[in-house]
Structure 1
Amino acid sequence: MTDEQTVQGPPEAVAEYLARGMGELADKMGMVVTELGADRAVASIPVEGNRQPAGLLHGGAYVVLAESLGSMAANIHAGPGRYAVGIELSASHTRSATSGRVTGTCTAIHLGGTLTTHEIVLTDDEGRRCSTVRITNIIRDAR
C-alpha cells in the first residue's frame, strides 16, 4: 500500500490479509486499491486491456473488481486466523465504459460473525454508475 492508500481495521487482520496479496487476476487486470477496510473499500481498474470485442469493458471485469473488493473487505472483518469466501453474487450492469478507469466503492450492508454482505457501486471517470453488485461472503476458521 502507498501513502495515497487508506487501510482501516485491526492491525493484525490487515497485516495478515495484505501478506496474502491481491492475487494473480487482480494483478493482471491492473487493479489499484486506494482504500481498504471492513466497512468500506475502494479500487479501480483500467478499461483498456479489459474490454470485450465490442470495445466495452467486459461485464466480467466489473464482477471481478466487485468480488475482489467485497472479499477483501470481508477478510478484514474476519480477522486473524479466519478467512472469508464468496458464496453469492448478483450484478446489474446499467452503463458501459469504453475508456479511462472504472472505480468500485464497496460498502458494508451486514458484518456478522459468519456472514458479510457488501454492495459495490462501479462508476466511470465521470462518476456515472455502470454496475451494481451485491456479494455475500461466509467466514470460516483457518485450518
Structure 2
Amino acid sequence: MPDETTPPSLDEILAAMNLDSRGTLADRMGIEFVEASAQRVVATMPVKGNTQPYGLLHGGASCVLAETLGSVGSALHAGRDAMALGIEINATHHRSADAGVVTGVATPVHLGRTLATYEIVITDEHDRRICTARLSCLIKRP
C-alpha cells in the first residue's frame, strides 16, 4: 500500500476522475476517462443514449465530450489553486455515427497563464473523424 508521499498512479488518478464525475453531465453521457494530462486528455462516450431522433450521434453530445476533455486539460494545466472555465467552443461535424463508441482526444493549441485552448478530435471505432472542436478556457486564479 502506498504511503502519503507516494504519488498516485495514472490508474488511480483516472479512477478518481471517473468517480468524481458521478452525477454530472459527463456521467449521464457515459463519458469515461482513459488518459489525462495537460498535454493529452482521452475519453470515450457511447453513441447509444446520445442520439438525436434520427438515431445518429447528437452534435450537442460531441460538444459535451469536447468541452469535458478540453476543460479537464485546462484544469490540469492551471493547477489545483485555479479554475478553468470554458468561454468559447466551436465544432465541425464531419460525419455521423449511429452505433458503438466514439473517442475524443484533446491536445493543447495554447497553454498560457490566463487562457488555455485545446483542439479536440472525436473519432469512431474505425478511426474515422466524426468531429473536430476547439475549446478555449479562461484560467481564473485566486
TM-score by length of 1: 0.85
Q: What SS does the corresponding residue of 2:28 show, helix, strand or coil?
A: helix
Name the count of aligned residue pairs: 132
Structure 1 equivalent of residue 136 of structure 2 = 136
CA shift digits 1:3-46 (9 cap, x unpaired): 885869xxxxxx8xx49923610110111100011110000100
- How far off its partner does 1:54 sit? 0.1
Structure 1 equivalent of residue 28 of structure 2 = 28
Larger Rg: 2
What percentage of aligned pairs have identical amino acids? 49
Structure 2 equivalent of residue 93 of structure 1 = 93
- How far off its partner does 1:107 sit? 0.5
8 Å contact kept, 2:18–2:33 = no
Superposition RMSD in Å? 2.3
8 Å contact kept, 2:18–2:32 = no
8 Å contact kept, 1:5–1:33 = no
Structure 2 equivalent of residue 114 of structure 1 = 114
Q: Which segments of structure 1 move beyond 3 Å, counting only runs of 4 or more?
A: 3-8
CA shift digits 1:21-80 (9 cap, x unpaired): 236101101111000111100001000111110010000000000000000000000102
Unmatched runs of 5 consecutive residues or more in structure 1: 9-14
**1:113 and 1:93, CA in 2 relative to 1: closer, same or farther beyond 3 A?**
same
Measured in 2, the distance between the counterparts of 1:106 and 1:85 equals: 16
Unmatched runs of 5 consecutive residues or more in structure 2: 1-8
